[in-house]
Structure 1
Amino acid sequence: MIEKYPVLKEAEAFYFEGNDIGILVSHGFTGSTQSMRFLGEQLAKEGFTVCGPRLKGHGTHFEDMELSMYQEWIESLEEGFKRLRETCSKIFITGLSMGGTLTLYLASKYPEIKGIIPINAAIEIEEMAKLAGALEPRFLDAIGSDIKKEGVIELAYEKTPLKSIGEIVQLMRITKERLPLISCPALIFVSTEDHVVPPENSMYIMETITSSDKEIVKLTNSYHVATIDNDKELIAEKSVKFIKEHL
C-alpha cells in the first residue's frame, strides 16, 4: 500500500546505533513510535543498537491504516529485524500491545532471537472478535491513551478503522496458534488493570510458550500503555537487566 498522509511529528521510526546487541522495539495497534521511544532511549543508553520501526499505516492518518494489512505490519517489523541482523550478533525484541503480538510472531518464526519482552501483548480480545467481519460503521472510537498517569497522552489515532479490527483479529489468531513454537527466554509485562487488552492474555502466553526461562512481571500502577505510564522506569530497568543476563 502507498500511504497518502505525511508521518506525524514524534511518530517517526527511530534507530540508535550502538554495539552488536540489537533490540527491536515495536509500537501497537493505532499507536506510534512515541509510545516506545522512552524505552528505546533507555536501552540505547546501555550501548545497545535499537531499532523502532513505524508499522505500515500507522503514525499518519487512520485512513492510511484502513488500507494496511496485518501482513504489512509483520513486514514492517521484519524489515527492522533484518536491518539489525546486518550489524548485530544477538537480537532481542520488545513490543507493546499489538507490538507484543508481533514480537511473539517473530519469535515463533526466528528461533535465533535471544529473548523477548512482550508488554500487555494481545492474542485474544473478545470485543474485537465480535466486530471482525462487520461492514459498518466504517470507523470506531479510539482505543489509545489508556494511561493512568495524569497529563500523559499517547500519540494514537482518534478513530479506529473497522477493517483494521479484522486484520488484528487475524494476526492474534495466527500468533496464538504459534505460541508453542516459542522457546527463547521471555520477560512478560502485564498491567493488572488494562482497559484494552485483558490481562489474561499475558497469563495465557506465559503458560503456552515452551520457554524454560520465562518470567511474568505485574505492573500495578499503569494501564495499557505502560511504556509511558507510571511504570515506564520499572519496565526499562527490568528489560535492561533481562537483556544483560541473556547475552
Structure 2
Amino acid sequence: MAKTGDPRVTLDDPHSFFMPGTNGRGVLLVHGMTGAPAEMRLVARLLNKRGYSVLAPLLAGHGADEAEFRKYRWQDWQDSVEAAAEKLRAEVDETHAAGICVGGKLALLAAHRNPGTLRSVALYSPCFSYDGWAVPFYYPLLSRHIGWLAHVPFLQRLSFSETPAMGIKDERLRRLMAGMSADGVLDDFPGSGVVEMYRLGKLVRRELPQITTPTLILHAREDDLSNPRQAEYIDRHIGGPHALHWIEDSYHMIHVDRQHRHVADLTARFIEAHSRSGVAATPAFETHDV
C-alpha cells in the first residue's frame, strides 16, 4: 500500500509513496538506477507544498538486493514508470514527470511513447554513461566498449562501488543518503545495470530528434558522475521545446544536494509554464525550439 491517506492510490511495495495535492496537477518522480523513491522525498515535499500531487514509484527489481536487481531489464523499469503514470493520471487533471539520471530518461521515453499522458518532463542530471570527474578511469573505458562487453557474461556479474562523494557535495546530506539502505537504496550497482543503462541510452539517443515533449534539463556544472556535455548533447538534439539550466553548487544528486530547493522551484515553474491552463505568471523560461 502506498504511504498516503488517500485509499485510491495503491502500489504493491512498501517503498513507493503518494502525496495528494490540491491544484489538480500531478508530478511523477522517478528515482535513479539502484536508487529508491525515498531519495525523491525532499523535492516531493516541496512540490506538494505548492499543491501538486506527487507519486514516486519503485522501479522493477529495485528496493531489495543485487540478486533481485539482476533479474530485470530496462524494459521492466519502463513498464513501472508507464504503469505509475496511469495511476497518477487517474487522480489529477494533468500529469508531468521528473527523474534523476536513468529515471529521467525513462520518464522522457514514457512521455514520448504515450502522447498526452505526461505534458512535460524534467531531466535531473541526465546520464548516458558515467564519465564525471570523480569516477575511476575504467568507468569511461568500460562505457566506450559497453556495446560488445554487454555480451560478455562476467560483466553482468560484476558490482561497482559508489564513488566516495556519493554524488552529493553537502556532507550532512551525504550522511543522510548513506543511511538509506533500509529504504531500498543499493550500496553498489551491478554490472547488469550498466548494460541496461547503455541499452536504454542508445534508444533514447536515437529517439531524441523525434521527441516533442516540453523538457527541462537540469545539470550540475560540478557533476561528479555525469559530464555536463551529456546535458548539452540532449539540448542540441532533442526535437521539442526545452530549456537547459545549470546548477552551480551541487554534484550529481541535484534533487538531494545543497540546491534541491532550487531544483524543485525550477521544476514547478517549468510545469506551470507548460500546464494546460497556461499559467505563465512565473518568470519565463528560455525555451528552445529545435
The answer to whether TM tops 0.5 is yes
The residue identity in structure 1 corresponding to 2:232 is M
Alignment check: 8 A CA contact 1:142 1:157 kept: no
The residue identity in structure 2 corresponding to 1:14 is F
Between Structure 1 and Structure 2, how many residues are aligned? Answer: 237
Matched, 1:47 2:51: yes
Alignment check: 8 A CA contact 2:112 2:213 kept: no
Among 163, 167, 172, the alignment partner of 1:146 is 167
Alignment check: 8 A CA contact 2:21 2:52 kept: yes
Classify 1:77/1:227 alpha carbon distance in 2 versus 1 (closer, same or farther; 3 Å): same
Deviations 1:142-173 (A, max 9, x none): 33721111122333322221122211111111
The residue identity in structure 1 corresponding to 2:152 is A
Classify 1:129/1:63 alpha carbon distance in 2 versus 1 (closer, same or farther; 3 Å): farther
Among 9, 17, 23, the alignment partner of 1:14 is 17
| Partner in structure 2 of residue 3 of structure 1 | none
Structure of higher CA gyration radius: 2
Among 116, 121, 134, the alignment partner of 2:152 is 134
The residue identity in structure 1 corresponding to 2:44 is G
SS at match of 2:54: strand
User: TM-score under structure 1 normalisation?
Assistant: 0.89
Q: Within 2, Cα distance between the matches of 1:175 and 1:91?
A: 21
Alignment identity in percent?
25
The residue identity in structure 2 corresponding to 1:117 is A
SS at match of 1:222: coil
What is the deviation of 1:16? 0.9
Q: Within 1, Cα distance between the matches of 2:172 and 2:46?
A: 21
Segments of 5+ residues of structure 2 without an aligned counterpart are: 1-12, 131-139, 276-290
What is the deviation of 1:94? 0.3
Alignment check: 8 A CA contact 1:54 1:76 kept: yes
Classify 1:43/1:79 alpha carbon distance in 2 versus 1 (closer, same or farther; 3 Å): same
What is the deviation of 1:89? 2.3
SS at match of 2:263: helix
Among 99, 104, 121, the alignment partner of 1:100 is 104
SS at match of 2:18: strand
What is the deviation of 1:218? 0.6
Q: State how 1:52-91 maps to structure 2 within 5 Å.
A: 52-91=56-95
Q: State how 1:163-242 maps to structure 2 within 5 Å.
A: 163-212=192-241, 214-242=242-270
Alignment check: 8 A CA contact 2:128 2:197 kept: no
User: TM-score under structure 2 normalisation?
Assistant: 0.76
Among 94, 114, 119, the alignment partner of 2:119 is 114
Q: Within 2, Cα distance between the matches of 1:88 and 1:95?
A: 19
What is the deviation of 1:200? 1.3
Deviations 1:10-36 (A, max 9, x none): x81111112421111100011111221
Moved more, 200-209 or 131-140: 131-140
Give structure 1 regions of 4+ aligned residues with deviation exceeding 6 angstroms. Answer: none
Moved more, 118-127 or 56-65: 118-127
Alignment check: 8 A CA contact 1:101 1:123 kept: no
SS at match of 1:141: strand
SS at match of 1:203: helix
SS at match of 1:22: strand
Q: Within 2, Cα distance between the matches of 1:237 and 1:188?
A: 13
What is the deviation of 1:136? 2.2
Backbone CA RMSD of aligned residues: 1.8
